[in-house]
């Protein structure tokens, strides 16, 4: 045999081998396709598992499952669907999960995302679409495994709205202040302590007090209850004079009981608290001075009013 003929026969043999390998690859590809879509080239009818939204799709060499009605939340804080795949075999199952948008054909369109996971023998694995890297939307998943598997879509958790208790809108008004013991604007006429100058007192305000505090000696307490009266004292005479402690005026209750102006230590405490002067302060003729006076009265006394001890 000549050398050229040997080379020709060798190249022809390699060409035949390549053709055989190409035909074999085509046959294997067709067989794998038939494993997914059905048996003997026929379209497989999905088998619905009782009580499940995942459909077993029979195949010759692999186990294929389709789960519909899945939702991927648009935000990380949203709620996404979950499904469970159970390995029925006595050995570990390798699973591949291809996610498709609802309305697309998994046999024609590429998946939006894919994950692969091994599941131990006779075990189940839960999958959350929130963990899958893909946009939010409605999906279905095609699960392929090399062992028998089943699957189910878990119900979406019910998000309960927060409970609200509606309470009536109540505005609590502060308690009304106690009535003033003396009537505002009440007047009393009396004579000054030194010159018998006519003086006239007018009630500006009054209130009950249970204690008065003097800056140096501290608190003083009543035997009954203090009535503090702030008064404007006008000198309507021709010379200056002062309000005396004992012979100017008193307060009288509805029963007829009369109460004197309190002692000096009580008046001094009132002077410190109200920042006003009291008895024995000179009032020049034609002037009016605002002074403070205190009476220690019975708590049960009512209808208090001023009476003059030296009327004019």
Residue with tokens 């009396």: 190
pLDDT of 137 reads 93
Task: Determine if the pTM surpasses 0.75.
Answer: no
At 135-146, the pLDDT tens digits run 999 999 999 999
Question: Which percentage of the chain shows pLDDT scores above 90?
Answer: 69
Domains annotated for the chain, with CATH where assigned, are 47-153 (2.60.290.11), 187-308 (2.60.40.1240)
Residue with tokens 């495994």: 145
- Taking residues 171-180, report their average pLDDT: 78
Residue scoring higher pLDDT (76 or 92): 92
Is the predicted pLDDT of residue 21 greater than 50, yes or no?
no
pLDDT of 52 reads 55
What does the chain look like in DSSP terms, one character per residue? --HHHHHHHHHHHHHHHHHHHHHHHHHHHHHHHHHHH-STTPPPPPEEPTT-SEEEE--SSSEEEEEEEEEE-SSTTS---EEEEEE-SSS-EEEEEEEEETTS-TTTSPPSEEEEEEE-TT-EEEEEGGGS-S-SEEEEEEEEESS-EEEEEPPPPP-PPPP---------PPPPPPPPSS-TT-EEEEE-TTT--EEEEEEEEEEEES-EEETTTEEE--SSEEEEEEEEEEE-SSS-B---SSSSEEEE-TT--EEPBPPHHHHHHHHHHHT-B-SS--B-TT-EEEEEEEEEE-TT--S-EEEESS--
User: Alpha-carbon distance 209 to 259, whole Å?
Assistant: 16
Band of pLDDT at residue 51, cut at 50, 70 and 90: low
pLDDT of 32 reads 41
Across the chain, mean pLDDT equals 83
Of 18-32, 113-127, 199-213, 231-245, where does mean pLDDT reach its minimum?
18-32
User: Alpha-carbon distance 27 to 108, whole Å?
Assistant: 20
pLDDT of 34 reads 38
Q: Is residue 277 within 8 Å of 227, Cβ to Cβ?
A: no
Band of pLDDT at residue 305, cut at 50, 70 and 90: very high
User: Alpha-carbon distance 275 to 1, whole Å?
Assistant: 142
Of 5-19, 90-104, 188-202, 253-267, where does mean pLDDT reach its minimum?
5-19
Band of pLDDT at residue 258, cut at 50, 70 and 90: very high
Of 11-20, 96-105, 124-133, 232-241, where does mean pLDDT reach its minimum?
11-20
The pair of structure tokens assigned to 132 is 């899958």
- Taking residues 50-67, report their average pLDDT: 68
User: Alpha-carbon distance 308 to 247, whole Å?
Assistant: 8
């Amino acid at each position: 045999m000549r050398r050229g003929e040997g080379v020709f026969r060798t190249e022809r043999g390699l060409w035949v081998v390549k053709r055989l390998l190409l035909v074999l690859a085509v046959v294997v590809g067709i067989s794998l396709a038939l494993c997914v879509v059905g048996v003997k080239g026929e379209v497989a009818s999905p088998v619905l598992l009782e009580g499940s939204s995942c459909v077993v799709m029979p195949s010759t060499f692999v186990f294929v499952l389709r789960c519909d009605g899945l939702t991927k939340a648009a935000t990380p804080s949203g709620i996404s669907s979950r499904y469970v795949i159970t390995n029925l075999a006595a050995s570990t199952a390798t699973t591949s999960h291809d996610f498709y948008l609802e309305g697309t054909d998994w046999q024609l369109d590429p998946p939006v995302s894919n994950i692969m996971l091994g599941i131990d023998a006779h075990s189940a694995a839960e999958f959350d679409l929130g963990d899958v890297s893909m946009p939010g939307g409605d999906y279905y998943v095609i699960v392929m495994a090399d062992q028998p598997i089943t699957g189910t879509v878990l119900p979406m958790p019910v998000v309960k709205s927060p409970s609200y208790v509606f309470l009536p809108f109540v505005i609590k008004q502060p308690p009304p202040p106690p009535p003033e013991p003396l009537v505002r604007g009440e007047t009393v006429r009396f004579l000054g302590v030194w010159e018998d100058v006519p003086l006239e007192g007018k009630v500006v305000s009054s209130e009950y007090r249970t204690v008065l505090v003097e800056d140096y000696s501290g608190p003083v307490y009543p035997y009954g209850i203090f009535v503090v009266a702030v008064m404007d004292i006008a000198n309507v005479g021709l010379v200056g004079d002062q309000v005396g402690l004992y012979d100017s005026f008193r307060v009288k209750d509805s029963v007829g009981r009369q109460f004197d102006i309190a002692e000096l230590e009580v008046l001094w405490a009132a002077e410190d608290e109200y920042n006003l002067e009291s008895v024995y302060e000179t009032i020049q003729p034609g002037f009016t001075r605002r002074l403070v006076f205190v009476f220690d009265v019975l708590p049960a006394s009512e209808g208090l009013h001023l009476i003059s001890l030296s009327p004019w």
